[in-house]
Structure 1
Amino acid sequence: MNKHFLWISALALLAFVGCKSLQEKGNDQFLSGQYQYAIGTFTQILAQDSSNLEANQIIAESYRLSNRIEKSEPYYRQLVKEEPTFNNYFFLGQSLKAQQKNKEAIEAFENAKSYTSDETLLARIQREIESIKLAEGIEDYWPNHVLVNYTELNTPGADFSPLLSEDFLYFTSGRQASGIYPATGTPYLKLFRTRADGLKVDVGAVQPLPEFRNEEGLNQGSLAISPDGNTIIYSRGNSTSPKDLPEVALFASYFRGAGFTQPVWMPVNEDETWWNSTPAFSPDGDELYFASNRPGGYGGIDIWKATRLANSDFGNPVNLGPTINTPGNEMFPHIAPDGKFFFSSDGHPGYGKLDLFVAENDESGKQVIRNLGQNINSKDDDFGIFFTEYPKAGFISSNREGGVGDDDIYFFEDKTPKPKIVNVLLNVFTKEEKADGSIADLPQTRVVLYGSDNKQQGGDFSNSSGRVRFTMAPDQDYTIIASKGGYFSKSIPYTTKGKTPDPATLIQEVTNITLDTTIILDQLILEKAIVLDNIYYDLDKAEIRTDAAAELDKLVKILADNPTIRIELSSHTDSRSSDAYNQDLSQRRAQSAVDYIVSKGIAAERLVAKGYGESQLIIKDAKTEEEHQVNRRTEFKVIEIRED
């Protein structure tokens, strides 16, 4: 990762008292960006004088500027002991933070406060401290994603920033290098590709990028390929030649008929002294995102966006703003198909150095930044995410411990356990009650299943044995409606809640649970009286009692299930009291029952209230109370069946 994190900064350093020739050599190396060589030179000076302030300063800064700040801790510790300054304490804190020595890092940042009154610097310190504290509460963005080192693809050198385009995997690597980059002491980087199908990479067919030649004596960095495959943009730089460009810049190669053009410097770089790298296209190819340290940003390196112009170049770069960019460094942008913006940063709350983040909108539409969590990030650099199947699979790059080499390519997959499937197989048996009270099968009955949303989920006719089978889901409510010509239709509620095992206790991927239920239909015969049981009234009163209402609700349901029938609801008294009194009382009772049913949503024109008094006694010479009760009854009969 350090190869793409470099820019040359000249420091005003004090002259050494001793080792002058060695000192001058080391200073020249440092000021020309040859940090690894400078480290080697000044290490020789420290071997003679371990407390040499200037030597500690050069080595500490060399590690920091080559993105190896975690290695600078002993040198900054010596500096704060001998020369406590804001910068020395601040960079010591960053070195400790990169190693996840959080308690010591906070202490160093707090000490840095004593050496500045600059509000901007104090705010930067507080942000670093808050970042450490916030990192302790980070949750995994994808809890079931598993990261694996692509060991067969990686080498002892650097391998990073993979992307897939037209069945080829492109990436940057230090393999086949012809020289050593003096800033880090590692091989120069080149661009490679090999065939791939998603995460399946042909590791035996890796070859240098065939579209154009890799250049010698400099680093070819991260690349981006336009969605149509006709434009390749990549970063290159770090040349030691005074005739070359002084800084890392973006170059573009275009497909023109027979092949790709030689790469050309892009106008979006604007200034040769600005660092520009890690490009990425928007999904439609009309925008180019990249990282730059140009003026107008919020920190060391920010992410910018340029728009495609009429001439197909990109121009008018715009900073993505302070929600994404911080006083730290942001780079390696990647835009997902759903618009979520992925990037790497060491300025947002994280685990050490560069972590992977996503910018997305919360429920209120506000853009928020989320760390992808510890199953993706580490205390080292984690960057360059690319999805082969969004968001379930893809690649990242990391120089975390335990890798094959320097920067390594890792792949990730969603390993969310497949849910155990429970199917509820419900056998619905349709039956009828015969005149003698026996129960018989009722074939060719139409049975329909509805979900809790009242949408039909199935329907069929019962077979010769009166059975229909439905497949249902666990923990759901349903309604089953059975209908057949010459019978009252009937609907019943059915629930699978509490009738299936807990999926967590199951071993098999699919478990079928078979349940049974029965629906008994009554014959629908015109003018046949049907007694409603338990319809009682208080003595000499017609008001509907609570217990009578419960029975009338059953009739309400019959009418709702059978919207084409019209009924007469009749009331009968016993023979005690006068004929006129009983006639009036029965009519009032019948009307009260009808009024109750209408109040439940049944149309009044479907009901006729009829009081018969004592004119239709079942037991004419009733003597006991039980016999009188048989005569006191409420009945209904179907008097009309309307066509649908």
Structure 2
Amino acid sequence: MKYQFFWITVLLIFSLSACKSIQEKANDQFLSGQYQYAINSYSQILENEPDNLEANQAVAESYRLSNRVEQAGPYYEKLVEEEPTFENVYRLGLSLKAQQKPAEAKAAFEKAKGYTQNETYLAETQRQIEAINLSEGIEDYFPNYELVNYTELNTAGADYAPVISENFMYFTSGRRASGIYPADGSPYTKLFRTRAEGLRVDVGNIQTLPEFQNEEGLNQAAIAISPDGNTIIYARGNSTSPKDLPETALFASYFRGAGFTQPIWLPVNEDETWWNSTPAFSPDGEELYFASNRPGGFGGIDLYKATKLANGDFGNAVNLGPNVNTPGNELFPRMTADGKFFFSSDGHPGYGKLDLFVAEKGADGNQVIKNLGENFNSPSDDFGIFFSNYPKEGFISSNREGGAGDDDIYFFEDKTPKPKIVNVLLNVFTKQRVAGEPDAVLEQARVVLYDSSNDQEGGDFSNSNGRVRFTLEPNADFTIIASKGGYFSKSIPYTTRGKTPNPEDLIQEVTNITLDTTIVLDQLILDKSIVLENIYYDLDKADIRPDAAVELDKLVQILKDNPSIKIELSSHTDDRSSDEYNQDLSQRRAQSAVDYIVSQGISADRLVAKGYGESQLIIENATTEEEHQTNRRTEFKVIEIQE
């Protein structure tokens, strides 16, 4: 009996000791950042004490601090019931927002305002409300892009942050892990490499990074490779060894002749206690972008830019400012050659947790931030964009529902339907005017095509049929100029607007439309008079009427098309007034016409005004008004051709 009583006593003491050790162990795990272990330990306590506020608080915070705030909801709800503090209500709002419950999240944020008078807390809570409101009007930045899970590449663990360098894909993965990361219970990650060409990845020959050996018992992640392929920078951290660095830091390996060096801690980290990660090079390799929680930022994690120093290191890190950075977290920067800056954030208006954004110049020249939209982002984390062919295709990472497990790699392609092509084939025929006969073919005339900006689009000589063919854009304006020695050069406007079918109505990928137009050239003969039709003046007046201006504009165009000619512009009257009166009237009318032409930009020294009165009647002894009109005419003739 004594022996039996002894073992009962021992078991009772051991049981009481175990209860105490679970609480102490859970506290130690939480304080050391081993959040998944802490969740497991505190959950054992909650099984027996579901209202234990300390345990609920620790589990909620463990989920939040390990980037799983959506799972913290039930625990924050319990805390709000018992202790409705600002922190508890605000963080419940964060959890509801991550669960894609915008109405409930806004209600929680509004409620949180009632538990504080701190202006910073109030401003942040209002920002969360406004972010939810703004997220309702987000448009897709790449509206016709399709995102697909790269199922053959992904595993049940984490696979993320791919980059392409020299026909190899480098990425982070939890496959072949040698330990568990205690913060979230996932396998430690390593760096891997496989061959890739564009979006085509050799998923059958994935190997651990050959440039240097992955370390065991810590996370290696988020690799960046310089444009010349000679520098590798990546994030290394989360070791449980007390002898290791206390925080995640950037490490670099350099190619030196025979191979890459062993990774070394980068000076740009500055302090061993600061978290630094998600590096990316600028397109020219002269700048390094990265995320850090160093002091002086605008929120939890901010994005920074460091410049390349003379010794090859990066330094003088500068915060990218409050336009990009928020009180939330910004990570995974990516600068493109056209100056656009892509990144992930949970602080800008979005769909849940981390979303993909782009910073670009707006119409007013100022930088604007745009969410990439619903075809790229989800209620979960979406991050790590990399373009294999900017901007048409590339990769992102996401832990959204429907994936293989944890973070997955997705590829995207531009699926914008190819526009149906309409080619306008324009036949320009050149002809010459022959008095009293039909217009005749004019071969070997020079025909030149200009676009609406007056840039030459093409030119050729007309063939034996008087034809030149051009290929024109639809819905565009052009000018065609034809010229040949001994003829007046001539320009005509030509438009394809309204002359082609709507591309949406076409069935074939390419449709050719053939159109014709004709340019008739007049012979250029010195001292040969050419009548300007429909030049009328009011009785006994020399003012240019609007209808006469229309006709004179045709002569203006002739002078512009033929800059080497000088003309005499003459006016003639009928014989129904005195010779002296008619002479004066015709001279005034001729001068008035010349003055008008000069007002349209033609040099005065190319024009001579001449009034002939009734001295050159075409019909002598005219009796009808029609005959008088024939005599009452305006003419021009070329009097000089300048070489």
Specify the alignment match of 1:617 in structure 2: 617
Distance in 2 (alpha carbons) for counterparts of 1:129 and 1:50: 31
In 2 relative to 1, CA 119–459 (structure 1 residues): closer, same or farther, beyond 3 Å? same
Give runs of aligned pairs for residues 129-168 of structure 1, distance below 5 A.
129-168=129-168
Shift of residue 195, structure 1, vs aligned partner: 1.0
State how far apart, in whole Å, the 2-side matches of 1:331 and 1:188 are: 20
The more displaced of 152-161 and 414-423 is: 414-423
Q: In the alignment, does 2:179 pair up with 1:179?
A: yes
Q: 1:60 is matched with which residue? A: 60
Report the Cα distance in structure 1 between the residues aligned to 2:150 and 2:637, rounded to whole angstroms.
Answer: 79
CA distance in 2, matches of 1:526, 1:312: 77
Mapped to 2, the partners of 1:82 and 1:132 lie a distance apart of 27
Q: Distance in 2 between matches of 1:124 and 1:380?
A: 21
- Is 1:630 aligned to residue 630 of structure 2? yes
How far did residue 208 of structure 1 move?
A: 0.7
Cα separation, 1, equivalents of 2:126 and 2:119: 10
Q: Give the C-alpha shift of residue 308 in structure 1.
A: 4.0
Alignment of 1:17-32 (within 5 A): 19-32=19-32
Question: Which residue of structure 1 lines up, in the alignment, with residue 519 of structure 2?
Answer: 519
Question: Which of 529-538 and 426-435 deviates more?
Answer: 529-538
Give 3-state SS (helix, strand or coil) of 2:235's partner. strand
CA apart distance, 1:316:
4.3
Say whether residues 1:247 and 2:250 are aligned partners.
no
Which one-letter code corresponds to 1:328 in the other structure? G
Q: Distance in 2 between matches of 1:295 and 1:568?
A: 84
CA gap of 1:259–1:526, structure 2 versus 1, over 3 A, is closer
Aligned position for 2:418: 418
Identity %: 77
- Asked if structure 1 preserves the Cα contact closer than 8 Å seen for 2:149 and 2:403, the reply is yes
Q: CA RMSD in A?
A: 2.5
Structure 1 residue 311: Cα displacement: 4.3
Corresponding residue of 2:447: 447
Classify 1:123/1:570 alpha carbon distance in 2 versus 1 (closer, same or farther; 3 Å): closer
- 1:515-573 deviation per Cα after TM superposition (whole angstroms, max 9, x unaligned): 11112222233333333333333334433333333333333333333333333333333
Distance change (3 Å), C-alpha of 1:51 and 1:643: same
Which has the higher mean CA deviation after the structures are superposed, 530-539 or 462-471? 530-539
Q: 2:11: which partner in 1? A: none
Cα distance in 2 between the residues matched to 1:632 and 1:115:
97
Alignment of 1:250-329 (within 5 A): 250-329=250-329
1:40: which partner in 2?
A: 40
Distance 1:594 1:384, change over 3 A: closer
Could you report, residue by residue, the CA deviation over 1:472-529 in whole angstroms, capped at 9, with x for unpaired residues? 1122222222222222222222111111112222232222211111122222333333
Show the counterpart of 2:607: 607
Quote the residue 1:111 is aligned against. Answer: 111
Task: Please report how far the alpha carbon of residue 469 of structure 1 lies from its aligned counterpart in structure 2 after TM superposition.
Answer: 1.2
Q: Deviations over 1:10-57 (max 9, x none)?
A: xxxxxx999434323332332333322222232233233333322222
Tell me if structure 1 keeps the 8 A contact 2:449–2:481.
yes
Structure 2 CA distance for partners of 1:643 and 1:58, relative to 1, 3 Å: same
1:348 aligns to 2:387 (yes or no): no
Q: Which amino acid aligns with 1:624?
A: T
Is 2:282–2:289's contact at 8 Å kept on the other side of the alignment? yes
Q: Secondary structure at the match of 2:81?
A: helix
* Counterpart residue number, 1:643: 642
What is the aligned length? 628
Q: Contact 2:565/2:642 (CA < 8 Å) preserved in 1? A: no
User: Aligned AA for 2:447?
Assistant: V
C-alpha distance after superposition, 1:280-326 (max 9, x if no partner):
23334343332222333222222233444454444444333333222
Aligned partner of 2:6 in structure 1 is none
Asked if 1:543 corresponds to 2:559, the answer is no
Residue 169 of structure 1 deviates from its aligned partner by 0.8
Name which of structure 1's ranges 25-34 and 144-153 shifts more when overlaid on structure 2. Answer: 25-34
**What is the match of residue 389 of structure 1?**
389
Structure 1 residues 443-489: Cα deviation after superposition (integer angstroms, max 9, x where no partner):
22222222222222222221111111111112222222222222222
User: 1:557-613: CA deviations, max 9, x gaps?
Assistant: 333333333333333333334444434433333333333333333333333333333
Residues 1:447 and 1:225: Cα distance change in structure 2 (over 3 Å): closer
Contact 2:385 2:397 in 1 (8 A): yes
Cα pair distance change 1:152/1:620, threshold 3 Å: same
Alpha-carbon distance in structure 1 between the residues aligned to 2:455 and 2:468:
19
Against the structure 1 CA distance between its residues 449 and 94, is the aligned structure 2 distance closer, same or farther, given a 3 Å change threshold? same
- Specify the alignment match of 1:126 in structure 2: 126
Offset from partner CA, 1:397-419 (integer Å, 9 cap, x none): 11011111200011122223322
Deviation digits for residues 206-264 of structure 1 (CA, Å, limit 9, x no counterpart): 00111222222222222222333233222222223333333322222233332223323
Deviation of 1:380 (Å): 0.6
Structure 2 counterpart of 1:587, one-letter code = Q
**AA in 1 matched with 2:254:** Y
Structure 2 spans left out of the alignment, 5+ residues: 1-15
Deviates more, 1:178-187 or 1:462-471: 178-187
Partner-residue secondary structure (3-state), 1:115? coil
Structure 2 residue matching 1:531: 3-state secondary structure: strand
- Judged with a 3 Å threshold, the aligned counterparts in structure 2 of structure 1 residues 418 and 536 are, in CA distance, closer, same or farther, namely same
Deviation sequence 1:310-354 (CA, Å, 0-9, x none): 544444443333332222212222222233332221112211111
Could you tell me which amino acid in structure 2 is paired with residue 229 of structure 1? Answer: G
Change (3 A) 1:335 1:554: closer
Tell me the distance in 2 between the aligned counterparts of 1:286 and 1:455: 39
Which amino acid is 2:350 matched to? Answer: G
Q: Distance in 1 between matches of 2:587 and 2:321?
A: 82
Which consecutive unaligned segments of at least 5 residues does structure 1 have? 1-15
Alpha-carbon distance in 2 for matches of 1:408, 1:469: 55
Q: CA deviation at 1:93?
A: 0.7
Q: Which residue of 2 aligns with 1:338?
A: 338
Q: Secondary structure at the match of 2:435?
A: coil
Asked if 1:367 corresponds to 2:367, the answer is yes
| One-letter amino acid of the structure 1 residue matched with residue 571 of structure 2 | S
- Cα distance in 2 for residues equivalent to 1:352 and 1:536: 77
Measured in 2, the distance between the counterparts of 1:228 and 1:542 equals 78
Counterpart secondary structure, 2:279: strand
What amino acid does structure 2 have at the position aligned with 1:352?
G
Give yes or no for the alignment of 1:405 onto 2:408.
no
- One-letter identity of the residue aligned with 2:179: G
SS for the counterpart of 1:491 is: strand
| Cα distance in structure 1, aligned partners of 2:308 and 2:443 | 71
SS in 1 for 2:114: helix
Q: What amino acid sits opposite 2:238 in the alignment? A: N
- Classify the secondary structure of the residue corresponding to 2:548: helix
Specify the alignment match of 1:6 in structure 2: none
What corresponds to 1:567 in structure 2? 567
Q: How far has the Cα of 1:105 moved from its partner?
A: 0.8
For residues 149 and 427 of structure 2, what CA distance do their matches in structure 1 show?
52
Q: CA deviation at 1:109?
A: 1.4
Q: Could you say which residue in structure 1 is the equivalent of 2:595?
A: 595
1-side partners of 2:362 and 2:467: how far apart? 51
Q: Deviations over 1:142-174 (max 9, x none)?
A: 222222111111111110011112221111101
CA distance in 2, matches of 1:491, 1:521: 10
Q: SS state of the match for residue 559, structure 2?
A: helix
Residue aligning to 1:228: 228
How big is the shift at 1:97?
0.8
- In structure 1, distance between residues paired with 2:287 and 2:613: 89
How far apart are residue 132 of structure 1 and its match?
A: 1.4
Q: CA 1:176–1:533 in 2, change beyond 3 Å: closer, same or farther?
A: same
- Gap change, CA 1:534 and 1:236, over 3 Å in 2: closer
Task: Identify the residue that residue 493 of structure 2 maps to in structure 1.
Answer: 493
Distance 2:630 2:271 in 1: 105
AA aligned to 2:135 is: A
What residue is the counterpart of 1:474 in the other structure?
474
Q: Partners of 1:632 and 1:310 in 2: how far apart?
A: 87
Find the aligned partners of 1:450 and 1:542 in 2 and give their Cα distance. 38
Q: 1:425 to 1:62 in 2, by over 3 A?
A: same
- The 1:468–1:25 alpha-carbon spacing in structure 2 relative to 1, beyond 3 Å, is same
